[in-house]
Structure 1
Amino acid sequence: MTSGKAGTKSWRLTFERRSAPYVEPLMGWTGDDDPLATVELSFPTLRSAIRYAERQRLPYVVEATEEHNGNQRQSVSRKMKHAFSDETLERLGLGSLRESYDKAVAGAEARQDRRGEEGWGWPMAVVCDPSLSLDAKRSILIDWAWTEYLIDQATNEGKPENGRPSRLHEVELALLALERGNAVVESAAPAPAQAAQAVAA
């Protein structure tokens, strides 16, 4: 037999086992209670595989084979998202806020932030929502920007997501509006020393 390489350059998504296989006592066959153990999904590109995992909210690890990347294992989900966040902030002139955004994203789970595309009809609604803290707004919008970026990539690959164009530009405008509004609030707030003088007078 000879083996060719046709169709081997795609990416596969497999699921980790949730239960161990067992030996069926009557016939001695190997049984399995995990229906996802045999499921394997194929994707033409790494981005499309990541897009699927993100959309389904699946934690994932990318394992590159020798053909893809020198037989190295990489957990790139957070790295890619973090790099995207930094690049976006730099491009929008908000690079000085990287640490603030890192902190906001790190606290998203504790705050139980909703995903932007699921909770609000349009990105500016996040900026205008009085029930959200500044950190929550930052986290939701940068996460929404990542989702729209993946949709933009899918469209560029000729596979539009849900048949709709990316709304990345709208989310970026919302990020700019959020930080402009925050800068105005911070500049209007009295400095601590001025506030103390006003109380003493």
Structure 2
Amino acid sequence: MKARIFQKPKNAMQSGRAGTGRWMLEFAPAEARKADPLMGWAGSGDTQRQLRLGFASREEAVAYAEKNGIEVEVTPTPERRLKIQAYADNFR
């Protein structure tokens, strides 16, 4: 079973950075989704797709994966780039 470890990004609708320091372990899909013949909703029999584990640090997440024999891919956190501009720049 494969999984990926990543740092939870900030939601586009939030101004603060609460909860963004958490590291998440998310399992890769084991089977493709297919449309339900009756309702047309997409679904699969893969129950691990619904599971997402949160950790305080990257090391804790990697240690958990190694302890349970989970093959992981660690995605590095992208560097934050700030675009600093003043309101007066709109009128140049």
Q: 2:54 aligns with which of 39, 42, 65?
A: 42
> Which runs of 5 or more structure 2 residues have no equivalent in the other structure?
1-11, 82-92
Q: Which residue of 1 aligns with 2:73?
A: 61
Q: 1:7 aligns with which of 12, 19, 29?
A: 19
Higher strand share: 2
Indicate the structure whose relative CO is greater, using CA pairs within 8 Å and at least 6 residues apart: 2
Identity between Structure 1 and Structure 2 (%)? 35
Amino acid at match of 1:9: G
Q: Secondary structure at the match of 1:60?
A: strand
> Which runs of 5 or more structure 1 residues have no equivalent in the other structure?
71-201
Q: Which residue of 2 aligns with 1:21?
A: 33
Q: Secondary structure at the match of 1:64?
A: coil
Q: Secondary structure at the match of 1:13?
A: strand
TM-score normalised to structure 2 length = 0.68
Cα offset, 1:65, TM superposition = 2.4
* 1:30 and 2:60 correspond: no
Aligned Cα root-mean-square deviation (Å): 2.1
How big is each residue's C-alpha offset from its partner over 1:44-84, in whole Å with a ceiling of 9 and x where there is no partner? 0011001100110111110012158x9xxxxxxxxxxxxxx
Amino acid at match of 1:18: A
Distance 1:32 1:2, change over 3 A: same
Q: Secondary structure at the match of 2:64?
A: helix
Alignment coverage as a number of residue pairs: 69
TM-score normalised to structure 1 length = 0.32
Q: Secondary structure at the match of 2:53?
A: strand
Higher helix share: 1
